[in-house]
Amino acid sequence: MSVRILALVGSLRAGSHNRQLAETAVKLAPAGADVALYEGLAEIPFYNEDIDVEGGVPAAAAKLREAAAGADALLLFTPEYNGTIPAVLKNAIDWLSRPFGAGAIGGKPVVVVGTAFGQYGGVWAQDEARKAVGIAGGKVVEDIKLSIPGSVTRFAETHPADDSEVTEQLTEVVNRLHALVDAEQTAA
């Protein structure tokens, strides 16, 4: 059985370094793992309980919930905006947290990684994302981390897939998440 990992990217920019990291993770997935990059976070309206009603959930939000429900784990890629998590990623987490107590990420392993321009590689945003995911019911995997500093200069002329240090670290992240989920499925 293949381990299905859903990748969400907290940047909507086409040339986003975090998107490039996610695309690289898709290519680095080991045998037995399928990393799927989710498309469509820009179409999801801001979470509003008034529109989150049976039969009335916006199609874009329902599509995200369906993708997360079908995944065995999530891998979040986040930049850091003003020292915190981007709104698009927080919004996705909010939609995935509902309905209360039965959200699409409930009990699923979630790893948060990313890159940012600052010297710490976006660790504040990653910490905020982990906090939100944990409260939303996801099972935050605290010991799998990757924060790559200096993204604007480091990736100015080099795609993350062409940076051997980054591909080695990202391969380890994906392999460890795959192994964790595989072990959980085997034990079940």
Q: What is the pLDDT of residue 130?
A: 98
- Residue 144 CB neighbour total at 10 angstroms: 19
pLDDT at 100: 86
Q: For each successive 10 residues of the chain (188 residues), what is the average pLDDT? A: 94 96 97 97 97 95 98 98 96 96 95 95 97 97 97 95 97 98 92
> CB of 133 within 8 A of CB of 78?
no
Determine the 3-state secondary structure of 109 from DSSP.
Answer: strand
**Contacts for 69 with CB less than 8 Å, ≥ 6 apart:** 104
| Helices 17-28 & 164-187 angle (0-180, nearest 10) | 60
> Per the confidence metrics, is the pTM higher than 0.85?
yes
Domain that holds residue 53: 3-187
pLDDT at residue 75, rounded to an integer = 98
Identity of the residue numbered 144 = I
Report pLDDT for 188: 83
Whichever domain contains 14, its CATH number is 3.40.50.360
Q: Could you tell me which of 91, 129, 92 has the C-alpha nearest to residue 110?
A: 129
Whole-number pLDDT of residue 64:
98
Cα–Cα distance for residue pair 92/153, rounded to 1 Å: 29
What is the predicted pLDDT for the residue at 101?
85
Say how many domains are in the chain: 1
